[in-house]
Structure formats: C-alpha cells, structure tokens
Amino acid sequence: MGSVFYERPFVHRKRELIDAGLIPARPLGDALPTALDVPLLWIDTPHMTQLADATEDAQKRGVRDNQYEAEVVLAYLRRLSTGSDLDLVILTPYAAQKRLLLESDPLRTVCAGLTRTPWERVVRTTDEYQGREAELTVLSLVRNNSLGARAWGFLTEPERLNVMFSRARFRQVVVGCSAHIARHAANAVWLKRVWDAYQDEAEDPRCARIVPAAEVRDG
C-alpha cells in the first residue's frame, strides 16, 4: 500500500529474508489453504442491488453492521487448519460490526481453534488497533448501501485508511464490496486507489488474489 499513501512503492526485504532462510516462505505454515495463501487477498462481496442480503444495516436500525460480511469472515476462517496458534486479528472500522462479530458463537469457536489470543482481543476496531500489527489480519469493510455521497462515511479519510490497510505483517484479507467502491469512486478517492492497487497486485497471483465472496462463503 506504499504506492497508495506515500506515492512510492513500499520496498521490503521479505524475499531476501526468505532466500537467506531467516523467515519461512509460508510464514503461517500450513494453516492457510494453498489457494488462499497470498500476501493480499480480497474477498469481494456482491453489491446490495445484486444481493439484498449483502447490504449493511439490514434491520434498518441506523447502525453500521453487515451480517453477510460476518458470515464471509466465518467461512474464510473455517478454511484454515485448526490446532494452530496464529497471530490473528479480525478488524473492522465500526463498533457495531465488532459487536456483531463478538456475539457470533460459531466465530468464537472457530477462532478458539486457531489462536490462543483471548476472544475479546481477537476482534478489534481499526482505531483500537492503531500502532499494532498481526501476522494475519482479516478486515471487514461493512459498507454496502444506497446512501449516495455518504456511501462510505469516514472511510473516505486517507489517514484512517492508511491505518486500516497497514496492520498485517504477512497476510492481509479484506472482505468488502468492490462494486460499492466503483459506484462512489468520486467520493472515495483513496479507497478506490487501494482497490486499484489490489487489482494491479493481483496480476501476479503469488502477490494478491481477488475471489468472489460466494466462492468462500458457499463453496
């Protein structure tokens, strides 16, 4: 994401460290299935005009939560090998989504088999997690609506996005709707740049992949 927020590519030495045998080529071991074991993974949810269940605030309570994305997060984590002790965090910009995730007993059960981190510290808001990193981050963007200019709320702010997309040490997973970004690109310029960067990186499947949410959730 260096090219998005700092106008220059982020140069790291991980390949050199791997070649020197200082860190493993698969830093999370066999916990991730090969098809999903890439540094950047975007799980692309359908727009709410194509699938009503994918919308945020489905109960129209005026809160920012997304049950469909919560189910996708659960489905992704169910594909990981249990019995691991992963440095894992599930992130979201919204407190309501954090509550929704924390209230999921199936998600809690799955995470208990993946990490020894106490449950209340596995799910965090991005503001809470500022300044910290995890080897594997799973980020739920939540927004998927018909609010026009307010469609992305504070996720138009580059400072927040910079924090949000820079918490992963080895593997970053994003659950979000690219069609919603494209529809509101004029009002979410920085988020559109992040999405464009993902697409550029995905030209090399060793670096990034973009997969439909249905492939993870229902596959």
pLDDT tens digits for range 117-147: 999 999 999 999 999 999 999 999 999 999 8
Which domains does the chain carry? 12-217 (3.40.50.300)
pTM: 0.90
pLDDT tens digits for range 140-188: 999 999 988 899 999 999 999 999 999 999 999 999 999 999 999 999 9
Residue 84: predicted pLDDT: 78
Q: Residue written as tokens 């692309």?
A: 44
Q: Which residues pair with 72 in a beta bridge?
A: none
List b or e across 55-94, with b for residues whose CB sees 16 or more CB atoms inside 10 angstroms.
Answer: bbbeeeeeebbbbbbbbbbbbbbbebeeebebbbbbbbbb
Find out whether 16 and 174 touch, Cβ atoms under 8 Å: no
